[in-house]
Amino acid sequence: MTIKDTDLLLVIDVQNDFCPGGALAVEDGDSVVPVINELIGRFTNVVLTQDWHPAGHSSFASSHQGQSPFGTIELPYGQQTLWPDHCIQGSRGAEFHSDLITDPSSLIIRKGMNPAIDSYSAFFENDHSTSTGLAGYLRDRNIQRVICTGLAFDFCVFYSAQDAVKEQFETVVVTDACRAIDMEGSAQSAQDAMKANGVSLVTSAQL
């Protein structure tokens, strides 16, 4: 696969709270950093996303009496997994991993800022209709293909890839530049759904 000037490297939520020692740590999450850094050096177009929740966000289990992390509730936009408090605006946990190369990025998309709606995807909040503006930004720059990396494979990477297809971009996920939470088989389910939707899954060596 040849990297072109019409390709985008999308780096999703490589933040302290999703890495070992963080509030919502993905196992081995920090191991994606050197892989992503190597890729960043090969792309003309790089966009980062950053979970950026206000305190007391509706997706936090602590915001709902009697609820525990990783349970589910119904919110006005549908079923919502409840999470430990994480990536709170301005906190160390919300900062990018200190080893991640961020300077080449042309845009940082902060998501999950609406206290009433969670936001996994780089393109839409979890109501699947409120746009982050990323698709328009990419079209204005003639991006044809979106290459997804980051955390977590089965949540924010998965939703971003599915929405990239929905927005009619050719979509690729770099598997060794991602790690999964894997709740009750969610990693395999995400992989199967992406393949069924036309997402290409490759390794960094194949790029």
Catalytic residues: 13, 111, 156
For residues 80 and 58, give the distance between their C-alpha atoms in angstroms, rounded to a whole number.
Answer: 9
Helix, strand or coil, per DSSP, at residue 119: coil
- The position carrying tokens 């305190």 is 55
Residue pair 39/7 in contact (Cβ under 8 Å)? The answer is no
Contacts of 37 (CB under 8 A, 6+ apart): 99, 100, 101
- The position carrying tokens 């109501």 is 127
Name the nearest CA neighbour of 33 among 150, 122, 147. 150
The neighbour count for residue 142, using CB atoms within 10 Å, is 9
The tokens of 22 are what?
A: 């963080």
For residues 164 and 175, give the distance between their C-alpha atoms in angstroms, rounded to a whole number.
Answer: 16
To 5 degrees, how large is the angle CA 202–CA 2–CA 148? 40
